[in-house]
Structure 1
Amino acid sequence: MKNFICNTCGVQVGSSAAAPEKCLICNEERQYVNPTGQTWTTLEEMIQSQIYKNNIAPEEEGLFNISTAPGFAIGQTAYLVQEKNFNLLWDCITYIDSITIGEIKKLGGIDAIALSHPHYYSTQVEWAEAFDAKIYIHEDDKEWVTRPSDRIIFWSGESLELTSNMILHRIGGHFKGATITEWKAGNARKGVLLTGDIMRVVADRRWVSFMYSYPNFIPLPASTVERMAGQLDEITFNRIYDAFHRIIKEDAGAAVQRSAMRYIDALNGKLFNT
């Protein structure tokens, strides 16, 4: 029996004797099946290939990024957030090996894992078991969990305080349970948001954007973005880190509001005439 991993999205499924015919995550309009067909691997095969390694690098005091080279599947970045006596892994990546585990243990280990949305569930159970950690997923995305575990806590409501400085906020949009993390102590206590791609920092680092599907270019409704902007306006933050290591370093709160207005105007035909 093996826990197979989809090569396209990087999400691991429950134990089975043979690879599934379909990936639950990819066979849905927010993701896609590779044009060459559905293929699978396992974590054991990835490790044995000796192709991959994880890079762990500091961002600022109390924050490290974690990424896999060469890139695998979606290629997102995870973040380790350090607090006194509590470390949070924000979002997850597929590849994990003994070297990664050893390096993270030197940084204090992982007490909890929090996920922005199903595309980044990856091998979350492997990570949780390696560090004896709990996994926090909003209950509205429960149907997308492909490898069940007693370590998963399905939280409800609009916010969940993990510590006095780390708060999960369900803001929806990309998925119904789409979540961001507010880190109050980050950026010298000016506040940091870790957003996954619930909000993406775009090529022009003064702006963010919002999408229902990024690979298939399906936008969110104007009303949804307006609601999200209202929720975000109630959170104090100065910096954003997204899932692909793009950063708005200063005045990120104003950037989000400005970006939401531009997005809404574009959808409503007020931004341009072409």
Structure 2
Amino acid sequence: MTDSITYLICNTCGTQHATPDRAALPTCFICDDPRQYTPPTGQSFTTLGALRAAGNHSNEFHPILPPTTTSNDATARFTSIVTTPQFAIGQRAILIRTPKGNVLWDCVTYLDDATAQRIETELGGIQAMVISHPHFYSAHLEWAERFGCKVYLAAEDKRWLARRDEARQVFVEGVEARVEGVGGEDTGVRVVKLGGHFPGSLVLLYEGHLFTADTLMMTPAGRGNWGVDALGNPRERPQGMNTFSFMWSIPNMIPLSADEIVRMWGILKNYNFRSAHGLCLGWDIEDENIKARVLESMQIQIRAMGHGQHPFLQEAL
């Protein structure tokens, strides 16, 4: 049986493919899709074994804390896991700690014994995983096998799986799914299928926290701080600033259509949340008005695309 640490991994997107044979895998089908890209240097692959042997990468753990709170990795409810130096896309995984078991939102490709031991001994392990969309499928089965857990994925995006394991992969068919933890108990985590970026693109909700990946792409303006000016004087956030953009392709800057954005809102408006957590380290917003900012961002994008008379511009909470 082939050891999975010899399976080829795309250096651009971080997807682990189910073969060690370079002749059998001349290109990465994830990166050949118009939503992704192959860099000017061309297609290249590595393996998890090679990454570990090189000793250049490690995973860092960063607690996600409310603005006025101090804590540490051992007590934080949410912990970002990021690979340094950056590998492939550079997204973070987020460990969500619940009384019924820990849920890993999204995944990074790199996994070593030090990472696994820290998660198991300090953070309580992983009882379930949820992956937002195919660009972050990465090495999710490597993680699922290491922690003995299941992985929730959108049924619509099965075609993008480079590795399959019916015993581990759970396919979400409907708009919403609950995530099970220890002994099949409900963790309180909800997976919500919004689509858009991919037909099955997911977000995750837990106790008023919305985890967006790039289904809702958090913008620099969204993360900006206008609390004071350069002289220390208080000021308000300027009008017309978006918080999210809604993209079919993020790297190639292809937006979603107005109709698709409206369809996504038709689902998301049924849920309440007071924070949002994006795909990269530090992309966290605590704001009781964050749902209104999602709606405002959708209206800004629809208006900017030339739909100045679109009925959705009259939508309100």
**TM-score using structure 2 length:** 0.81
How far the C-alpha of 1:164 sits from its partner, in A, is 5.3
Residues 108-147 of structure 1 aligned to structure 2 (within 5 Å): 108-147=124-163
- SS for the counterpart of 2:103 is strand
Question: Unmatched 5+ residue regions in structure 2?
Answer: 66-75, 180-185, 223-241, 310-317
Q: CA deviation at 1:178?
A: 0.4
- Asked whether 1:168 is paired with 2:191, we answer yes
Paired with 2:53 and 2:116, the residues of 1 have a C-alpha distance of 16
Instruction: Name 1:264's counterpart in structure 2.
Output: 302
Give the Cα separation in 2 of the matches to 1:225 and 1:90: 23
Q: Once the 2 structures are TM-superposed, how far is the Cα of residue 223 of structure 1 from its aligned partner?
A: 0.6
* CA distances 1:59-94 after superposition (whole Å, capped 9, x unpaired): 134110000110010000110000013110000001
Q: Which residue of 2 aligns with 1:188?
A: none
What RMSD over aligned residues (CA atoms) do the two structures have, in Å?
1.4
Indicate the SS of the match to 1:165.
strand
Between 4-13 and 238-247, the greater mean CA deviation after superposition? 238-247
Distance 1:18 1:228 in 2: 39
Which letter maps to 2:22? A
Match of 1:58 in 2: 63
Contact 2:193 2:203 in 1 (8 A): yes
Residue 91 in structure 1 maps to residue 114 in structure 2: no
TM-score (norm 1): 0.93
> Contact 1:9–1:74 (CA<8 Å) still a contact in 2?
yes
Q: Which runs of 5+ in 1 are unaligned?
A: 185-190
For these two proteins, the number of residue pairs brought into alignment is 265
CA offset at residue 269 of structure 1? 4.6
Q: Residues of 2 paired with 1:198 and 1:58: CA distance?
A: 23
SS in 1 for 2:210: strand
Q: Is contact 1:222-1:268 (8 Å) kept?
A: no
Partners of 2:15 and 2:136 within 8 A in 1: yes
Deviation at 1:36, TM superposition (A): 1.5
The secondary structure found in structure 2 opposite 1:122 is coil
Question: Aligned residue for 1:218?
Answer: 254
Alpha-carbon distance between aligned partners in 2 of 1:100 and 1:83, rounded to the nearest angstrom: 20
Percent identity over paired residues: 37
How do 1:242-253 and structure 2 match up within 5 A? 242-245=278-281, 246-250=283-287, 251-253=289-291
Q: State the Cα distance separating 1:33 from its structure 2 match.
A: 1.2
Query: Aligned ranges for residues 1-274 of structure 1 at < 5 Å?
Result: 1=2, 2-18=6-22, 20-60=25-65, 61-105=76-120, 106-150=122-166, 151-162=168-179, 163=186, 165-184=188-207, 191-205=208-222, 207-245=243-281, 246-250=283-287, 251-270=289-308
